Structure 1
């Protein structure tokens, strides 16, 4: 393992630092950096957040191009990003032993809720201002804000936080379940999603309205990914070598299946099984990415400091990047210059600026005690900056 010249402070409950080493169970053995972070998970976090920026940078093409065009299919395929994020959280939250001492649950919820809840409220308030200011009827929009905040739909990307908080609420039960039988937890989560997911979401709509339906849909969609991550964390140390080397096949099956579904290439008899095939293909794609990251981890070790630093900034990039994209979207629309998106180079340029700019803003926020909490990092960075040597 290549030593890291300068480490940065760690806080076990920080969502930006979810790449920290899981507490070791009977079947877990993971090599980590001197900071206690798993390089593969940090690399996956960077890969996932860049993919998220890519998804949102491609949104204008949804109104300009047909669904079967390469750009639209790329947009669809990039949607592995959220399942991948949830997988990592499952490995590093549900995959940990649950402490048995009194008050553990309350302490866990306070720490986790504070670590992601406070930044969420701050950023959601900023997006709420944009939402209400740009609404045709601002007063009616203001009345919608509480429900939108609760579901995370005050802006298109914020639903992830209420969903993650829901998974945190389930952690004591899930942590014990994964130790009883990780395989049973995964099977149960997928059966629940496939057999009853839409029906339970409709029940949530009846009880909680449209925002309740949205929240339930996200939770039920990604519950299997959380369980799959916990399973991986528990079984990593005993998985057969052939399985660990199967990432090319897993990627081919997963992304091949997803492409066939998105492009509507499936024959009619098989197309009726999409409710089963889609979760299976996404699971194969996510597992393929995770296995590839662990297979490539030795090659990442010389760059461990950079990878872990960028991984820690992913939470901030998640919050920041729409603020960089929105002015571009509005300027192009105001100038009636949608043709720019069809030039090819413009979309790539917007993606590059949004990605680099978001990491730069997150890095700048990480340098100050007053703002580091906004990107999910502890205040001990003051004056240092997370990527400084």
Structure 2
């Protein structure tokens, strides 16, 4: 039994804070009364969270399945499908049923729509992450082969090439929205192109493989955190400052709408990807050194991060309905308070769920 890494275990909790911030903050993007600072915090500087989750997954897979040890693809896939695919399908179906009921639209329950939602991860706005993660699992033998190639040509050169290719792929994808007739006239091909960010794992391949590289060379990563604290902190500060400067420049000087700015600075863009790297290093440094408050709370939230991830959109929806009645509009509600309440409710639900499913609870 391999030991768990407390740094990356707790990093899941920090990522969860960012994910909820993005989803709560999405209401601020479209609100006329939204402040630039609120949009910056929730939709620009929280974008590290999704790719960092893939980074943690890459670390976990390559740590538990080293290249030097025998690998059973069948057992691996069976275990991963049980732990991720089953919760994904159940959660997606619950959300589809919920939205069908609340919108009074029975067409959402048609088999073709359900299959579409399950394949592209559109059952609810956030769950596409699990579709991409499942593709990382399904194609894990490919990533193992890629790791061997990277180590053969040299990790520094190999990862640099992978970084450039991932940025180039996103930039091409970002501007490529006009399709030839042979794609536009084929619904299957058109959907595969239109929803490419929902399932295509190559958009996150660099951060995933970076997690694998660190799993295989953790000693070097630990020395980096130990010997280069100041450069890591400066890297984080400069990257966050640069993204902040771009945001205010585009919104204040150019008058760009918040939604457009968020799209240009999202996690797959070059500034977003560099910021993600800075966050991975900086947060790992903080966690290694213990330079953060509420250690017990973060550990407990990290342990329950998967369930919090699955349920928090439902509580966002419910709280939004509750606050709409007395206030008439979310513009009169503190987004910061809204965020804290969602975080607390989602965490409390996860705690209660785990207690009900514990062996002691079952025995009682």
Aligned residue pair count: 333
> Any stretches of 5+ residues in structure 1 without a counterpart?
1-11, 13-20, 22-35, 370-380
1:329 pairs, out of 320, 327, 343, with 320
Aligned to 1:171: 140
Q: Verify the 8 A CA contact 2:22 2:42 in the aligned structure 1.
A: yes
1:213 pairs, out of 176, 194, 200, with 194
1:303 CA displacement: 7.9
| 1:78 and 2:69 correspond | no
Report the structure, 1 or 2, having the larger helix content: 2
Q: Give me the whole-angstrom Cα distance separating, in 2, the residues matched to 1:287 and 1:99.
A: 28
Taking a change above 3 Å as real, the CA distance of residues 190 and 312 of structure 1, as seen in their structure-2 partners, is same
Aligned to 1:246: 231
Taking a change above 3 Å as real, the CA distance of residues 124 and 140 of structure 1, as seen in their structure-2 partners, is closer
Aligned to 2:211: 229
Q: Give me the whole-angstrom Cα distance separating, in 1, the residues matched to 2:336 and 2:144.
A: 42
Q: Verify the 8 A CA contact 1:94 1:230 in the aligned structure 2.
A: yes
1:51 pairs, out of 3, 18, 28, with 18
1:17-28 to structure 2, matched below 5 A, reads none
Taking a change above 3 Å as real, the CA distance of residues 358 and 275 of structure 1, as seen in their structure-2 partners, is closer
* CA distances 1:264-288 after superposition (whole Å, capped 9, x unpaired): 45999xx9xx799974433433333
* CA distances 1:157-212 after superposition (whole Å, capped 9, x unpaired): 10110000111122222234324424455334333323334656868987543365
1:356 CA displacement: 1.2
Aligned to 2:359: 382
Deviating beyond 6 angstroms after TM superposition, the runs of 4 or more aligned structure 1 residues are 200-206, 274-278, 300-305
Taking a change above 3 Å as real, the CA distance of residues 288 and 125 of structure 1, as seen in their structure-2 partners, is same
User: TM-score by structure 2 length?
Assistant: 0.77
Taking a change above 3 Å as real, the CA distance of residues 245 and 111 of structure 1, as seen in their structure-2 partners, is farther
Q: Give me the whole-angstrom Cα distance separating, in 2, the residues matched to 1:243 and 1:289.
A: 15
Q: Give me the whole-angstrom Cα distance separating, in 2, the residues matched to 1:122 and 1:301.
A: 36
Aligned to 2:308: 317
1:105 CA displacement: 0.9
1:326 CA displacement: 0.7
| 1:341 and 2:348 correspond | no
User: What's the C-alpha RMSD, in Å, of the aligned pairs?
Assistant: 3.6
Q: Give me the whole-angstrom Cα distance separating, in 2, the residues matched to 1:136 and 1:277.
A: 35
Q: Verify the 8 A CA contact 2:239 2:274 in the aligned structure 1.
A: yes
